[in-house]
């Protein structure tokens, strides 16, 4: 089988959609060595994060064919990439980020689209009106015309049904795993080296993710004053204007010196940053899945999550759960973890057992099952 991937995010995004795209290509190539997997990208180039994926003999990176399309790569992705995939013999097209090429229904090839979340529908105030309309048009087009839809959580599957009217039987839920590095032991020396690098002189709580309003890091900043002076809060992620509000809140609460922001930490440092923390906090108001929850548990660090979206689905029994506006509840949960090594160990043990369902093997097998259903549905002309 030859699978054609929309590989734009695999090349251009270092987090989120890029991580998913690279991980999926890698696990599929390892599990199904006799099949071919081609990433199509408007600006194909090998990056440090993509290079290991392309080392597999059955993975290839392709770009626009023809001088004209190389001049307008963004247009190629929408208008001509699908035709190039068909001409190069793909058996199935997989849009990895909620999009499919225009005219995909006329290519004579089955298609699958992955939808990660529809947060722009749940929290429209966080997006520019034009961006919301663009996302809505792309997601609506892709979910309606795809042979099958792949959702990364049951939460996202419910949203696809609610907002786009897609029948649930057209949707396959396939959980995403996290990078293998988070499952590997971290040496005390590695942890100490990073503590020195980032000036982390006290025990710390960590929150990994873009520092933005939806991620709700403000809850941890407000709750920090209720925890002993001996603990800091580390926010590791790209800063948006919300970071200024974080700093102002920390100053008003008298904890400015205890809130540390790390921007641009290399991906390979994250396991040690998690492992060096006493616990992690991921109280986002809404996520499609919440990979940092899995990363934290895999690294052996218990996590506090927010209720109301998919984070409870991601963490299972490996986390303490509080409401996204319950600052006192957050403080109480963190203090429970700080006060009891036994509870921390129990949560991590239960969490690690639970997250086995998010393994690379399960991701590969679930995705291939989706492909086979799509090919069968397409062959039989099944309409949902």
CA 263 centroid distance within chain: 18
Q: Are 294 and 314 in contact (CB under 8 A)?
A: yes
Backbone angles phi, psi at 351, to 5 degrees: -65, -45
Cβ count within 10 A of residue 329: 20
- Confidence band, pLDDT 50/70/90 cuts, at residue 188: very high
**pLDDT value at position 228?**
84
**pLDDT value at position 213?**
94
Does residue 309 register a pLDDT over 80? no
**pLDDT value at position 349?**
94
pTM for the model: 0.87
Average pLDDT over residues 195-223: 96
Distance linking the first and last C-alpha atoms of the chain:
25
Nearest to 174 by CA among 199, 148, 145: 148
**pLDDT value at position 384?**
86
Q: Per-residue pLDDT tens for 210-219? A: 999 999 999 9
Q: Are 10 and 22 in contact (CB under 8 A)?
A: yes
Q: Would you state the structure tokens that stand for residue 191, as one six-digit string?
A: 């942890």
3-state class of 280 per DSSP?
strand
Q: Per-residue pLDDT tens for 154-178? A: 999 999 999 999 999 999 999 988 8
Average pLDDT of the chain? 95
Q: Per-residue pLDDT tens for 312-360? A: 888 889 899 999 999 999 999 999 999 999 999 999 999 999 998 899 9
Q: Are 227 and 300 in contact (CB under 8 A)?
A: no
Task: Please give the Cα distance from 341 to 336 (Å, whole number).
Answer: 9
**pLDDT value at position 250?**
97
Q: Are 61 and 47 in contact (CB under 8 A)?
A: no
CA angle 158/311/302 to nearest 5° reads 160
**pLDDT value at position 383?**
87
**pLDDT value at position 313?**
87
Nearest to 298 by CA among 334, 336, 348: 348
Task: Please give the Cα distance from 273 to 97 (Å, whole number).
Answer: 28
The highest-confidence range among 66-70, 176-180, 306-310, by mean pLDDT, is 66-70
Secondary structure, 3-state, 22-88: HHHHHHHHHHCCCCEEEEECCCCCCCCCCHHHHCCCCEEEECCCCHHHHHCHHHHHHHCHHHHHHHC
Task: Please give the Cα distance from 165 to 170 (Å, whole number).
Answer: 11
Q: Would you state the structure tokens that stand for residue 274, as one six-digit string?
A: 């998690």
- Confidence band, pLDDT 50/70/90 cuts, at residue 290: confident
- Confidence band, pLDDT 50/70/90 cuts, at residue 193: very high
More confident residue, 24 or 229: 24
Cβ count within 10 A of residue 43: 13
Cβ count within 10 A of residue 263: 12
Q: Per-residue pLDDT tens for 110-127? A: 999 999 999 999 989 989
Task: Please give the Cα distance from 176 to 47 (Å, whole number).
Answer: 22
Question: Which segment of 37-51, 75-89, 197-211, 297-311 scores lowest on mean pLDDT?
Answer: 297-311
């Amino acid at each position: 089988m030859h699978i054609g991937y929309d590989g734009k995010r695999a090349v251009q995004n270092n987090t989120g959609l890029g991580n998913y795209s690279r991980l999926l290509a890698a696990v599929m190539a390892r599990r199904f060595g006799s099949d071919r997997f081609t990433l199509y990208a408007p600006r194909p180039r090998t990056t440090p994060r993509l290079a290991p994926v392309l080392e597999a003999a059955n993975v290839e990176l392709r770009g626009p064919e023809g001088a004209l399309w190389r001049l307008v790569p963004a247009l190629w992705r929408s208008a001509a990439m699908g035709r190039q995939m068909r001409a190069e013999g793909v058996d199935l097209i997989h849009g990895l980020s909620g999009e499919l090429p225009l005219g995909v229904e006329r290519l004579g090839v089955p298609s699958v689209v992955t939808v990660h979340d529809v947060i722009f529908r749940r929290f429209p105030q966080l997006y520019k009106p034009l961006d919301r309309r663009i996302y809505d048009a792309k997601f609506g087009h892709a979910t309606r015309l795809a042979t099958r839809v792949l959702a990364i959580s049951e939460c996202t599957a419910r949203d696809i049904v609610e907002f786009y009217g897609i029948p649930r039987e057209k949707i396959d839920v396939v959980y995403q795993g996290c990078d293998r590095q988070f499952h590997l032991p971290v040496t005390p020396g590695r942890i100490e080296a990073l503590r020195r690098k980032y000036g982390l002189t006290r025990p710390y709580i960590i929150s990994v993710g873009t520092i933005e309003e939806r991620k709700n890091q403000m809850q941890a900043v407000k709750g920090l004053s209720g925890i002993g002076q001996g603990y800091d809060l580390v926010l590791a992620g790209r800063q948006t204007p919300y970071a200024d509000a974080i700093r102002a809140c920390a100053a008003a609460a008298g904890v400015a010196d205890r809130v540390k922001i790390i921007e641009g930490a290399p991906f390979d440092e994250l396991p040690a940053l998690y492992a060096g923390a006493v616990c992690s906090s991921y109280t986002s108001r809404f996520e499609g899945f919440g990979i940092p929850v899995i990363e934290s548990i895999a690294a052996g660090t218990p996590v506090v999550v927010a209720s109301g979206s998919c984070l409870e689905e991601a963490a299972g029994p490996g986390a303490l759960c509080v409401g996204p506006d319950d600052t006192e509840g957050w403080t109480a949960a963190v203090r429970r973890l700080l006060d009891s090594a036994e509870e921390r160990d129990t949560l991590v043990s239960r969490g690690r057992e639970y997250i086995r369902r998010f393994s690379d093997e399960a991701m590969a097998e679930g995705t291939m099952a989706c492909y086979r259903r799509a090919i069968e549905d397409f062959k039989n002309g099944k309409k949902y």
